[in-house]
Amino acid sequence: MLFQVRMDVNLPAAMPAAEADAIKLKEKAYSHQLQESGKWRHIWRIAGQYANVSVFDVDSVEELHTLLTGLPLFPFMQIQVTPLCRHPSSIRSTDQ
Q: What is the pLDDT of residue 96?
A: 64
Chain-centroid distance, C-alpha 58: 12
Can you tell me the distance from the alpha carbon of 96 to that of 93, in angstroms, rounded to the nearest whole number? 7
Q: What is the pLDDT of residue 90?
A: 86
Q: Is the per-residue pLDDT at 92 higher than 90?
A: no
What does the pLDDT average to over 34-57? Answer: 98
Q: Is the per-residue pLDDT at 84 higher than 90?
A: yes
Q: Are strands 2-9 and 51-57 parallel, antiparallel or unpaired?
A: antiparallel
Q: Is the per-residue pLDDT at 51 higher than 80?
A: yes
Can you tell me the distance from the alpha carbon of 67 to that of 54, in angstroms, rounded to the nearest whole number? 13
What does the pLDDT average to over 71-84? Answer: 98
Domains present along the chain, CATH in parentheses: 2-84 (3.30.70.1060)
Q: Is the per-residue pLDDT at 83 higher than 90?
A: yes
